[in-house]
Amino acid sequence: MSSLIVSIIMPYYKKDEYIYVTVESILKQTFQNFEIIIVDDERTNQSSKIMKKLKDKDNRIIIIENERNLGAGLSRNRAVGLSKGDYLAFCDCDDVWDKRKLETQLKFMKDKKVDFSHTSYHIINKKGEVVGARIADKEIRFIDLVKSCDIGLSTVMMKKNLFSNLELNFPNLKTKEDYVLWLKLSQKGVRMLGLDNKLTNWRKLNNSLSSSSLQKIIDGYRVYRTYMKYGFIKSLISLFILSKNFLKKNKIK
């Protein structure tokens, strides 16, 4: 077995309908030297039962319980702090991985000598049916990323040492917390390469936080005003461009 370890970070909140399928897709990976860190951010009797069942499935599954609801971003930060991996991979608890994801992406990153990668992905509905796709750009630069977030969280793999800078972590936002981190990494010169191989199925749910238009607008503004330190007018213009590109992207199947 390779000495290299991948830590897979998964914050959990009210995804009982999907999490078992998600975890199974990880356990079936062709690359097997990993740990799965699931952060229970729900903290109910139901979620505790689910966590126990998952932990009993495999000794590589580690459960962390938040004392209070922290949200996905801060929960990921907590898991990263406890992780043992050389690489980090992120997976939301309703998405599904292709069995070759870790193996393929690790090889890609080693061949290209990069610390950050993401992939193309299928979009699936509640039933798991493919309803669309997103193609990963070969390389995303800050100038492009600031106009459109084209990186799927559950497709990302990165070197853990990128988190050694305390400024580089997930912020306390309800949505777009991953976007802020990608922007900061890109701004600091981290190369972000895309692999045009659909290795993830991203589940689009109408009742999720990420589907709330108002929340996206509020958090989108905060991305630029609070985290990028843009002025009021520049933040509004950047938000308009981001929203326009999002709507354009959503028309493409």
The pLDDT value recorded for residue 154 is 98
Q: How far apart are CA 5 and CA 136, in angstroms?
A: 25
The H-assigned helical ranges of the chain are: 19-27, 45-57, 72-82, 101-112, 142-145, 177-187, 213-222, 232-250
pLDDT band at residue 252 under the 50/70/90 scheme: very low
pLDDT band at residue 144 under the 50/70/90 scheme: very high
The pLDDT value recorded for residue 232 is 94
Structure tokens at 8: 């897979």
Secondary structure, 3-state, 70-136: CCHHHHHHHHHHHCCCCEEEECCCCCEECCCHHHHHHHHHHHHCCCEEEEEEEEECCCCCEEEEECC
Q: How far apart are CA 73 and CA 38, in angstroms?
A: 13
Higher-pLDDT residue of 207, 63? 63
Is 160 strand, coil or helix?
helix
Q: Is 74 left (phi over 0), alpha (psi -120 to 50) or beta?
A: alpha
The domain ranges of the chain are: 6-250
The pLDDT value recorded for residue 110 is 96
pLDDT for 146-168, tens place per residue? 999 999 999 999 999 998 776 78
CATH of domain 6-250: 3.90.550.10
pLDDT for 176-213, tens place per residue? 999 999 999 999 999 999 999 999 999 998 765 554 67
Question: Which H helix or E strand runs over 188?
Answer: none
Mean pLDDT, range 25-31, rounded to an integer = 98
Higher-pLDDT residue of 131, 206? 131
The pLDDT value recorded for residue 1 is 44
Mean pLDDT, range 70-88, rounded to an integer = 96
pLDDT band at residue 32 under the 50/70/90 scheme: very high
The model carries a pTM of 0.92
The pLDDT value recorded for residue 253 is 44
Please give the torsion angle defined by the CA atoms of residues 145, 149, 151 and 154, in that order, rounded to the nearest 10 degrees. Answer: 150
Mean pLDDT, range 42-46, rounded to an integer = 95
Mean pLDDT, range 131-145, rounded to an integer = 95
The pLDDT value recorded for residue 2 is 58
pLDDT for 212-232, tens place per residue? 678 888 999 999 999 999 999
Structure tokens at 100: 């070759």
